């Protein structure tokens, strides 16, 4: 077998059939210029993977996607074979939803005709994957023979979950191997997932391990092509990292495409063997940071309705990291920073906010809000009654900031980013219609300790102090009253809230792990700084139950917040499905 394969890692836009078809045709043309025999595109790249339900039941849209395969893509495949992800439609049959049958599919195309339509057999129904809800599963597992300049090759096409067949009775990879497939092609829309601190077991590592185990078992080369860019489900922005790769029959890495960017690479295989390439360097914080940067940029570009990005900065760590991400995503010309101090904002944090803006050389505005707060309080008490609860005055400051920033967002037609982290969102330690306002929650899936880690990465990345050192050491504070500091030990509370959501533990389960000293040392610390030296069992148990109650009581706030970029195993939004009404207090 002698074969030249082009891996086409593209960034499709949800619902943009014409634009995506044009991207695919450009990829085919590029592969042909390089004399490739085969070009491979990602899963559902013609439509985008995260589709609006209105499109998934819209016959005109579904037909347009099928027509694009025959009208636009097939004619471009003269002398070359392409594997393209799309939605296959069977209008002769109705599914359980009384709609025409749809299938997540791949078209294998050559010389203007479709050689085979492969239907995804294993349909996921977890996290934000909805295949089982909308699609009918395929059943056939049959290799297809394609022609090359050196003869014919039998290939087996897998669609994402088809390859992750643990727990399923059907094993498509094994069937292809038994039927004589000489090459396995796996097309994917596999989201990015960052790993826990101190570990290398993120999604990229899991993919590699799975690919290596299948190659070792079947001795068949595997080509893994993943989509890149973002999709969304309404409440989560879902980054796809690309990171497409190939292993030859000996299990050697023979292709490795760039993460978080469109890329196309030509691979040559001779009897299933290729030239080894280096494995990409691993940097946990760098990967998560790059995922967030790509997501902000792609969200802005794909919406196409904004003329800049706005960021409110306080002099604290969250808005400092948000500024760095926005700067790397959008550049200096499209980013504007704002500081909105009341009488409670210290001169120190105001100095730090200005220093941050100076370091990034970004347009910066200071808008004092105390006179506005005083006027609102005066008018409120004149027409209603004296304000009774101190927190009302605290939230009023935050809401006035939100009001001004949203007015600026409207007036400049610019995207306002919001800076709440996962820990604050979990606790409800944020002001609804105040600091929660905005069009995109950039760090809402980062526990507070990770905010500090990624901020440190920013300074490493630039090789100089972009985020001032004092921002790392100043006590965290909302600065809404005198001498206020955040009432949490974030090094303990951050991992606990994260484990409630990602691991699904109850407070009692968490306490049992504490007693057994079985909590992750990477997350909870080791030695004198570990959680075991900070709390007794009784203290930890009281904290766990108190935090769990806060988690349940703040759902109504979270559901009204901006969409969150998902970079973990479980993000708030439609990834972690929550109900506002929940009578269970944790046990």
- Residue-wise pLDDT for 34-70, tens only, equals 999 999 999 999 999 999 999 999 999 999 999 999 9
Buried/exposed 187-206: b ≥16 CB within 10 Å, e otherwise: bbbbbbbbbbbeeeebbbee
Residue 199: pLDDT over 90: no
Q: Give the CATH class of 2-271.
A: alpha beta
Please name the residues in contact with 568: beta carbons below 8 A apart, sequence gap of 6 or more: 193, 194, 422, 445, 446, 498, 502
Residue 578: pLDDT over 90: yes
Q: How far apart are CA 427 and CA 244, in angstroms?
A: 37
pLDDT: is 199 or 162 the higher one? 162
Predicted pLDDT of residue 449: 96
Can you read off the two tokens belonging to residue 99?
């709609």
Predicted pLDDT of residue 203: 81
Task: State the chain's mean pLDDT as an integer.
Answer: 96
Can you read off the two tokens belonging to residue 226?
């993943």
Contact 562, 438 (CB under 8 A): yes
Q: How far apart are CA 587 and CA 582, in angstroms?
A: 13
Predicted pLDDT of residue 204: 82
Q: How far apart are CA 536 and CA 22, in angstroms?
A: 62
Question: What does the pLDDT look like over 508-538, one tens digit per residue?
Answer: 999 999 999 999 999 999 877 899 999 999 9
Question: What does the pLDDT look like over 118-157, one tens digit per residue?
Answer: 999 999 998 889 999 999 999 999 999 999 888 999 999 9
Q: Which residue has the tokens 């929550």?
A: 578
For the chain, give every domain's residue range: 2-271, 286-484
Q: Is 287 helix (H, G, I), strand (E, B) or coil?
A: helix
Q: How far apart are CA 543 and CA 426, in angstroms?
A: 14
Predicted pLDDT of residue 97: 84
For the chain, the residue count is 587
Q: Which residue blocks in 118-219 are alpha helix, DSSP H?
A: 131-134, 172-178, 203-218
Q: How far apart are CA 62 and CA 47, in angstroms?
A: 9
pTM of the complete model? 0.97
Please name the residues in contact with 345: beta carbons below 8 A apart, sequence gap of 6 or more: 314, 315, 479
- Helix (H) or strand (E) segment spanning residue 23: helix 17-33
Quick one: average pLDDT of 265-279?
A: 96
The beta-strand segments (E) located in 138-251 are 144-148, 151-159, 183-188, 222-226, 228-232, 236-241, 245-247
Q: How far apart are CA 457 and CA 110, in angstroms?
A: 47
Q: What is the DSSP string of 45-112?
A: TTT-SS--HHHHT-HHHHHHHHHHIIIIIGGG-TTSEEEEEEEEEEEEEE-TTSSEEEEEEEEEEETT
CA 392, 398, 404: angle at the middle one, nearest 5? 130
Q: How far apart are CA 433 and CA 454, in angstroms?
A: 27
Domain 286-484, architecture per CATH: 3-Layer(aba) Sandwich (3.40)
Contact 526, 402 (CB under 8 A): no
Residue 280 has a CB neighbour count (10 Å cut-off) of 15
Question: What does the pLDDT look like over 82-107, one tens digit per residue?
Answer: 999 999 999 999 988 889 999 999 99
């Amino acid at each position: 077998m002698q074969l030249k394969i082009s891996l086409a890692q593209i960034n499709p836009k949800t619902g943009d059939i014409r634009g995506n078809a044009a991207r695919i045709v450009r990829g085919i043309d590029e592969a042909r210029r390089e004399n490739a025999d085969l070009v491979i595109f990602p899963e559902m790249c013609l439509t985008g993977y995260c589709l609006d339900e209105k499109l998934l039941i819209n016959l005109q849209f579904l037909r347009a996607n099928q027509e694009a395969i025959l009208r636009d893509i097939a004619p471009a495949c003269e002398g070359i074979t392409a594997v393209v992800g799309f939605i296959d439609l069977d209008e002769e049959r109705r599914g359980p939803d009384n709609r025409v049958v749809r299938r997540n599919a791949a078209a294998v195309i050559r010389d203007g005709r479709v050689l085979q339509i492969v239907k995804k057999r294993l349909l996921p129904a977890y996290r934000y994957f909805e295949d089982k809800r909308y699609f009918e599963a395929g059943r056939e597992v049959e290799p297809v023979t394609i022609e090359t300049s050196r003869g014919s090759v039998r290939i087996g096409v897998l669609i994402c979950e088809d390859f992750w067949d643990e727990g399923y009775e059907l094993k498509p990879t094994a069937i292809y191997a038994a039927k004589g497939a000489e090459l396995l092609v796996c097309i994917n829309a596999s989201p990015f997932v960052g790993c826990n601190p101190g570990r290398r077991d993120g999604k990229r590592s899991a993919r590699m391990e799975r690919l290596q185990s299948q190659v070792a078992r079947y001795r068949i080369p595997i080509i893994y092509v993943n989509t890149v860019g973002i999709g969304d489900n309404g409440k989560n922005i879902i980054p796809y990292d690309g990171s497409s790769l190939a292993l030859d029959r000996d299990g050697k890495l023979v292709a490795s495409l760039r993460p978080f960017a469109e890329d196309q690479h030509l691979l040559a295989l001779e009897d299933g063997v290729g030239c080894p390439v280096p494995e990409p360097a691993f940097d946990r914080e760098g990967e998560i940071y790059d995922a967030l940067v790509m997501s902000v940029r792609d969200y802005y570009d794909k919406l196409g309705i904004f003329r800049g990005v706005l960021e409110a900065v306080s002099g604290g760590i969250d808005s400092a990291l948000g500024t760095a991400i926005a700067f790397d995503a959008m550049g200096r010309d499209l980013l504007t920073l704002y500081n909105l101090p009341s009488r409670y904002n210290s001169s120190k944090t105001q100095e730090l906010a200005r220093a941050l803006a100076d370091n990034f050389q970004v347009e910066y505005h200071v808008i004092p809000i105390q006179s506005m707060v005083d006027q609102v309080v005066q008018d409120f008490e004149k027409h209603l009654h004296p304000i009774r609860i101190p927190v009302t005055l605290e939230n009023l400051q935050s809401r006035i900031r939100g009001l001004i920033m949203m007015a600026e967002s409207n007036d400049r037609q610019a995207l306002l980013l919001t800076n709440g982290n996962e820990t604050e969102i979990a606790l409800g330690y944020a002001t609804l219609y105040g600091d929660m306002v905005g069009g995109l929650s950039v760090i809402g899936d980062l526990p507070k300790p990770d905010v500090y880690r990624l901020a440190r990465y920013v300074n490493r990345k630039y090789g100089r102090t972009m985020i001032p050192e004092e921002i790392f050491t100043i006590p965290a504070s909302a600065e809404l009253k005198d001498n206020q500091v955040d009432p949490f030990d974030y090094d303990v509370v951050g991992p606990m809230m994260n484990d409630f959501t990602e691991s699904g533990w109850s407070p009692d389960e968490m306490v049992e792990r504490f007693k057994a000293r079985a909590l992750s040392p990477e997350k909870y610390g080791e030695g004198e700084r570990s959680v075991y030296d900070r709390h007794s069992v009784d203290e930890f148990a009281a904290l766990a139950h108190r935090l769990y109650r806060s988690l349940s009581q703040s759902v109504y706030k979270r559901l009204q917040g901006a969409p969150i970029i998902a970079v973990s195993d479980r993000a708030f939004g439609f990834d972690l499905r929550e109900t506002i009404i929940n009578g269970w207090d944790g046990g």
